[in-house]
A and B are shown apart, each in its own frame.
Chain A
Amino acid sequence: MRTHDESIEALLRAARRGDAAAYRRFLAQVGKALRAKIRPALARAGRGNAEVEDIVQETLLAIHLKRDTWSEDRPLAPWLAAIARYKLVDALRRRGLSGAAPLDDVIETIPAPEPEPHVDGDVRKLLDRLPERARRIVTLVSIEGRSAAEAGREIGISEGATRVALHRALKDLARLYRSSGDAH
């Protein structure tokens, strides 16, 4: 994926050195590219934006949890494309859909800046299936935009414990996404 100002490879490299702002930009750009690719694949199957967003989120979570498997001496595009394809095929299969367009060129596409649609998929409910404290932590750092330290203070645990709990919550969330859509 080539971008106007900074390459996503540079962003992910910076993120690995602890640059959280670069990581956010990386995820936002990848999310845009994913949305642009997944939407037509689902539209052909008559599915709407809510499910597109579910799959975008599930894929972003997978990229996040597996980001260690990219080694910096290798190109990022094939790595991203392989993950995107794996998650899309899996998500479509769970929904009883198949034969969607392959995602070979997902990362080569420069997406036109597309705003995230204001939709809530079924996945919104996934958050409610997390244990109380995990949901609280995820809500604090995501929707309310707190840092791990602030979120920890709010619920009365250390920053380290908050980070551990957040990481575990995200892994649980990834598992919930993975089993979502089965009911369709």
Chain B
Amino acid sequence: MRTDDLIAALAADGATSEAGPTPPRGVALALALGGAAVAAIFFAALGPRHDLAASGALAATAAKCGLALLLALAAAGAALRLARPGARPGVAVAALFIVPLALGVWAAVEFATLGAAGWSRRLVGTNALHCLMLIPAFALIPLAGLLAALRRGAPTRPALAGAAAGVAAAGVGALFYALNCTDDSPLFIAAWYSLATAMVAGLGALAADRLLRW
């Protein structure tokens, strides 16, 4: 087929657009529906921690959930940008760094108030294994939706876009897991939530390397 012939075929197809939601709409749907599905499973199988009403627990849980939500939204924004050829990283990628920064500040505040004594106990916590299993398990649901939404896009670095989708999905998983987890130290979060997030990001990158090529 000559290129001019191909162009004629493409022009004849010019009025036909892809079926399904556009990437921004698809990503929003994946976050909303994925979040709802994770919420249903979470409240049916696990539920929030029993001491949620205790002083300190509520504030710490709110902080954890807030950071998880921020991470999910910023990473979803970054994934969307990565799915648009030629787009600059922009605000969404900058917002990703707010989360580790906030964790650092939180850790500094904890050191200032509690001192260094017992830091290793706070770091190891009591739920590390739970954290490493439940966040990725929850994250699988939104991750599938996010990857499906990004297939309509055109990521020139598919693995990176998949990693961003993985971070966003881990944020959704962490948002719910944090409601149950009684480890409130920023040291615990920096270690175990981050490791869980990295696992999902790696999975997202691997899957995207196959699914998001175009």
The answer to the question of B153 belonging to the interface, with a C-beta cut-off of 8 Å to chain A, is: yes
Whether A24 contacts B11 in the complex (CB less than 8 A), given A66-B154, A69-B85, comes out as yes
Annotate A106-124 by CB proximity to B: 1 below 8 A, 0 otherwise: 0000000000101010011
CA distance A127 to B1 in the complex (A): 8
Whether A69 contacts B83 in the complex (CB less than 8 A), given A28-B4, A83-B154, A85-B156, comes out as yes
Identify the closest chain B residue to A34 (Cβ). B3
B16-24, B47-55, B123-131, B164-172 - the one binding chain A: B16-24
Within 8 A of A (CB), among B1-27: 1-18, 22-23
Whether A170 contacts B22 in the complex (CB less than 8 A), given A68-B152, A79-B85, A82-B85, comes out as no
Within 8 A of B (CB), among A83-131: 83, 85-86, 116, 118, 120, 123-124, 126-127
Contacts of A174 in B (CB 8 A): 214
The answer to the question of B84 belonging to the interface, with a C-beta cut-off of 8 Å to chain A, is: yes
| Cβ-defined contact, A53 with B3, below 8 A | yes
Contacts of B4 in A (CB 8 A): 28, 116
CA distance A39 to B213 in the complex (A): 24
| Cβ-defined contact, B11 with A170, below 8 A | no
| Cβ-defined contact, B7 with A148, below 8 A | no
Whether A69 contacts B23 in the complex (CB less than 8 A), given A24-B7, A170-B13, comes out as yes
CA distance A78 to B154 in the complex (A): 13
Interface of A is mostly: helix
The minimal Cβ–Cβ distance linking A118 to chain B, given in whole angstroms, is 8
Partner of A57, one of B1, B18, B22: B1
Interface of B is mostly: loop
CA distance A20 to B10 in the complex (A): 9
Q: For the complex, count residues of A whose C-beta is within 8 A of B.
A: 53
The answer to the question of A65 belonging to the interface, with a C-beta cut-off of 8 Å to chain B, is: yes
Whether A31 contacts B7 in the complex (CB less than 8 A), given A66-B214, A127-B1, comes out as yes
Annotate A129-153 by CB proximity to B: 1 below 8 A, 0 otherwise: 0000000001001110101100000
CA distance A86 to B18 in the complex (A): 21
| Cβ-defined contact, B10 with A23, below 8 A | yes
Contacts of A127 in B (CB 8 A): 1
Identify the closest chain A residue to B156 (Cβ). A86
The answer to the question of B118 belonging to the interface, with a C-beta cut-off of 8 Å to chain A, is: no
| Cβ-defined contact, B156 with A24, below 8 A | no
Whether A64 contacts B13 in the complex (CB less than 8 A), given A79-B86, A85-B156, A178-B213, comes out as yes
What are 6 pairs between A and B in contact, CB < 8 Å?
A60-B6, A65-B214, A69-B154, A85-B156, A141-B9, A170-B10
- State the A residues within 8 Å of B (CB): 15, 18, 20-21, 23-24, 27-28, 31, 53, 56-57, 60-62, 64-66, 68-71, 74, 77-83, 85-86, 116, 118, 120, 123-124, 126-127, 138, 141-143, 145, 147-148, 163-164, 166-167, 170, 174, 178
Give 5 A-B pairs besides A61-B6, A62-B154, A79-B86 with Cβ atoms closer than 8 angstroms: A60-B10, A66-B154, A68-B22, A83-B85, A127-B1
